Structure 1
């Protein structure tokens, strides 16, 4: 104990009580030293004796008039210190000597809270041995009982013991949380079974109208969620804002939790009060992996929220190419309009996201072609379908040819004529023209159109050389063909 407030003998007296040197303690007491001398933290020698489990010194100090209710600057008296550090014999002796067992520290912790937080079962067992009438459900300043504390710090054996002693699991703290809610926030799933066996509902809501499953999903505790779901809790429980656990798992980027919930029949297309589904949140969070998980599980890629935006609108708005690809492959309806009358293609064009514009047009043309083929009962084999820019070596020669055609030979109007010949729509061409302006911008526009067309040839198995020849002849460019 190095404290400038203490004079030499007092400092040594504190040291002796801390180290357990009973002979030195007796010598100092006999010399008439102030038995309750305090250091700068207001701790007296009894704090050190009780906190270090020196029962013989505790007895000696008490016999000579040491104060048990002396509190340090944190409100910790000697009984609380003994409980905090798990010295049951010292705690029991002080109780027998008349210590006030209802005292609290500055956070409202009693001796029982202190023992529980630090996992001292021997101190907790004093409840049965010495204190049948003690209020086992006494609350700290935040409204937490010792059972709340056990759940917060994962003291599952102590939690079970407290429940055996009839501690109540239905008391809410000042934030409206039950012990099960506290456990869920911290992920200590071992307390679930004891709480359930003590007839505590696992589907109760807190003041935010969240269940334990909501809280565990929000915090990313997949093991807790998995254990909780064994007790048949509602996997689709809703808050007042109609938010489900799966929403919270996705919003917070918890892949494992989302997978657990989906495997336990979570409503993958559940909408909150704004009709935003988990897929909407995966996209707005730019989370490719969660988007993939949801799409693979069969999430509706065309569902519209309260603003009539689909996940594809959101991907296009934020320039998310990889996610756009996933949604297009998941058959997201690219023709749906938001409340402003804009399709995802319009949104991408307005944002100058060139690759996304081209990807959406590729998808539109592909699905139109596939629909026509299926209407004719033709077999459609799309293989490794992708709408991303083509960088394959196998098409490099063709792409170079199309680049020269667009930049050296086609005139400003001719690329459009060729596009219309191949079935491009006015809207698609307008979207292409949205990016890049100037007298020579038509060359870039024409080049992009040709690459989109080439993609369609590859998917449909058409001969691009033959198709290009027919197109050029069709727009009266026979000499170029």
Structure 2
């Protein structure tokens, strides 16, 4: 007979498996047979050891070639940009909330379709409708009804596009944030009208090429998704009407709700003569937060839904044995005062009384005694709750994500102060059966009907967002009056963190029958949550100085055994997570990395007694101080330094804490480290100094390519390897351009980031950093600042005497770096300061299609027929890469259309090889007009 998921057999029935290496396979990147897949035009380059560049179509890959497809290792699935972009936007719970909403009772919600505000909105050319109401008034059911109606009716207009999203404050992070909203909306758009989102697909493909797999190497960001949605929204309206429905705006947080409401309104603002199709947006939201929106249609639900509640109550009491002569339905409807949730909770009480044989007088008395305010009703329901009820409420309120039934069973079975050492013992003495139906009833009982299992049976949640609001604000302190109300949240997180740690320490977890991840997740349902969430719970409890002295005891004293177990299991169950801890991680590493100051202080206070090595290094050779400097935890850095942490400890890349802090713009930490004696010009393995890292101002994005630069700087590379790495370096430029484009549209973020790094640069210069230090590629701080377009830092370095013509090992000057990355302001600044206009800047700007920089360089006298060693001109580069605007500009300025490289290929041939039809036509037209007069 098959055991239920998570049921534990006695420990003696399990094989002893203490060696944590057997029986587990880890994916590895093979040094043989890997492939770089290109979907552009290129010749195949066969390299030793099986590394190849697969391309389609004619043409030459070198020079100036780019990869046009992502690099995938160890997968047989063909890269499909549309399909894979859809997958990167999707998330498992994307449609779950809409499926959990109860369907409207027969005959309800129909009033809305006749309501004046609704009909005016539904018939206007563009409009915003706000359906407002108190918690529990039925807004979500109403929106679902309207959505279904609009999808069903025939007069929405031919080809009308209908989008929707239901926020869920009790759900996962993406279910209750604007990021989840726009990922879902763009997923719907991309699935239905992919032609409106070509820029999104291009960005996705570019990042796959240059960074790697989405979700592992990079993530979508809110602001960029908003821009993609806005541009596609307008494209769709050129040919099709669009309806957008968003439920429970208030459940994404007050600030987000206000911002989104304004954003929706701005989305609809356009000239009446724009010629676009109809666009209508409808959202639901409570009365609070207060939204100041003019020219918006508004409907207040509780003023309109009395008849709906009457129908709902009559239906729920349809089996009532004395219904025909009863005044109960009318009484419930009247006292509900527009709140469906109140009516439903009271109906359940009435049905319970009927099952017990109560009479009408008793029922009426109970109904009249029920408070009409939901908060007061909830307080009445939770009177005399048990300690288990408190524990259940804490889990539902403060779990990092909603827990499944199987997870919650073990979360309830384990106690933070449990004396039991095995899961079997906990299960034997606990009262949480393996039968899910029985467990559901137990949850109903413990929560007094305020918690439920979702309709798909996947997770446990409160029946309504107002329930969670009540418990967080008032209810938890009412359940346990011994707890200081000011620390309710922190104490709950403390308890949950210890339960996670206690579960991880159980005997069976250390002796699994198999180390296969599927087996572990099936046999130990709570394990994945425990390993990925205990630190987050500790950090939350630590925020308000909840004592953490016991943490070392939970981790079995000075021994690192439990930490090693956590690291090993984490690396099996979540192999590609950016949070996956390196091997040889200690508890000190963990607390330093995540900034858990109280717990770290408590443990460091006993460091001498228990023999903790404050400078211990993990598998990446990072010491705790390096983690704290990287993450910007000033208090942790100070604490570690006070305990004697080494400021010069370097990792495998040669990075020190000072380099980490400088590279991430953490000025206070840079100053603190310098004050404690950190070497100001200490360089990493590529020769980069703290000043270079600060001047680059790329933070962690730039570090993605650090390993490539290390190889480029080495002397051990063969020719083909150098070529491949140079191509990857070109791809880095594409990534930087994408980020710069994103940053340019989000000027506040860009300005703040640059200001942080400028302050660090100024500090390092003041403290005597070498301004002309060069790394192994010959790049100086000015090279890095110019490459990344940081005008203020370039200005500062030039004012301090930086050499404006400093060349790196491939002959690039700061002007070349700025021009090749399209930084017009920096190019202008360097030209104003006397930078020499040689061939490389114009060639690079033309290659990458930087129209404004090309124009600027030509105005300053750059030679339009400048060539490289292999004979490529600016026109050759622009034509080959399909930059029509740059090609047109160069032709208007008199660029030679017949200039051939050393292989005899003209710009026309290069454009034709790459399939750039518009550029081919443009060049053919110019060739056919030999009398064209160039612009001055």
Question: What range describes the TM-score normalised by the shorter chain of this pair?
Answer: 0.5 to 0.7
Cα distance in 2 between the residues matched to 1:130 and 1:315: 58
Q: Are positions 1:161 and 2:730 aligned together?
A: no
Superposed CA offset, 1:357-376 (max 9, x none): 3565333xx8xxxxxxxxxx
* 1:243 match: 812
2:932 partner SS: helix
Residue number among 773, 784, 798 corresponding to 1:204 in the alignment: 773
**Per residue, is there more strand in 1 or in 2?**
2
Q: 1: distance between equivalents of 2:493 and 2:821?
A: 56
Cα 1:63–1:22 change in 2 (3 A) is: farther
Distance in 1 between residues matched to 2:793 and 2:665, nearest whole Å: 12
The number of residue pairs the alignment matches comes to 352
Work out whether 1:84 is the aligned partner of 2:593: yes
Which residue of the partner structure matches residue 10 of structure 2? Answer: none
1:104 aligns with 2:674: no
- Distance (Å, rounded) in 2 between the aligned partners of 1:106 and 1:20: 34
Change (3 A) 1:67 1:346: closer
Structure 1 portions without partners, runs of 5+: 272-276, 367-384, 387-481
Query: Separation in 2 of the partners of 1:204 and 1:91?
Result: 37
2:925 corresponds to which of 355, 360, 384: 355
Write out per-residue CA displacement over residues 215-274 of structure 1, whole angstroms, 9 at most, x where no aligned residue.
Answer: 2322333333233222211121111221112112222222233223222221112x4xxx
Matches within 5 A, 1:442-461: none
The alignment partner of 1:59 has SS state of coil
Distance 2:494 2:540 in 1: 19
Question: Is the partner of 1:292 in helix, strand or coil?
Answer: helix
1-side partners of 2:537 and 2:826: how far apart?
46
Q: Please state if 1:292 is matched with 2:855.
A: yes
Q: d(CA) in 2 for partners of 1:145 and 1:63?
A: 32
Distance 1:249 1:90 in 2: 46
State yes or no: 1:177 paired with 2:694.
no
8 Å CA contact 2:504–2:531 kept in 1: the answer is no
Task: Kindly indicate whether residue 637 of structure 2 is the aligned counterpart of residue 124 of structure 1.
Answer: yes
Q: Secondary structure at the match of 2:844?
A: helix
- Partner residue in 2 for 1:143: 654
- How far, CA to CA, are the matches of 1:306 and 1:130 in structure 2? 57
1:191-212, Cα deviation, whole Å (9 max, x unpaired): 1122222222122111222112
Decide whether aligned partners of structure 1 residues 172 and 5 sit closer, same or farther in structure 2, where only a CA change above 3 A counts.
Answer: farther
With over 3 angstroms needed to count, the CA separation of the structure-2 counterparts of 1:296 and 1:69, relative to structure 1, is farther
- In 1, Cα distance between equivalents of 2:772 and 2:586: 39
- Judged with a 3 Å threshold, the aligned counterparts in structure 2 of structure 1 residues 68 and 182 are, in CA distance, closer, same or farther, namely farther
277-286 vs 287-296, greater mean Cα deviation:
277-286
Q: Deviations over 1:124-154 (max 9, x none)?
A: 22355442xx311112333211111112221
Call closer, same or farther: CA 1:164–1:346 in 2, change over 3 Å: closer
In structure 2, the CA distance between the partners of 1:24 and 1:165, relative to structure 1 (3 Å rule), is closer
Is the Cα–Cα contact under 8 Å of residues 246 and 278 in structure 1 kept in the other structure?
yes
Separation (CA, whole Å) in 2 of partners of 1:289 and 1:59: 60
Distance (whole Å) between structure 2 residues aligned to residue 251 and residue 22 of structure 1: 50
Cross-structure match for 1:419 = none
The structure showing larger relative contact order (alpha-carbon pairs under 8 Å, at least 6 residues apart) is: 2
SS in 2 for 1:58: coil
CA contact (8 A) 1:46 1:68 kept: no
TM-score normalised by length of structure 1 = 0.59
Mapped to 1, the partners of 2:639 and 2:822 lie a distance apart of 44
Q: Is the 8 A contact 1:150 1:158 kept in 2?
A: yes
TM-score by length of 2: 0.32
User: Which residue of structure 2 aligns with residue 67 of structure 1?
Assistant: 557
Shift of 1:343: 10
SS of structure 1 residue aligned to 2:548: helix
Cα contact 1:84–1:115 (8 A) shared by 2: yes
Q: Which residue matches 1:191?
A: 760
Secondary structure, counterpart of 2:811 in structure 1: coil
Q: Aligned partners of 1:179, 1:143: CA distance in 2, in Å?
A: 12
**1:345, 1:357 within 8 Å by CA — same for their partners in 2?**
no
2:803 to 223, 230, 234: 234
* SS in structure 1 of the partner of residue 602 of structure 2: helix
Quick one: distance in 1 between partners of 2:881 and 2:538? 64
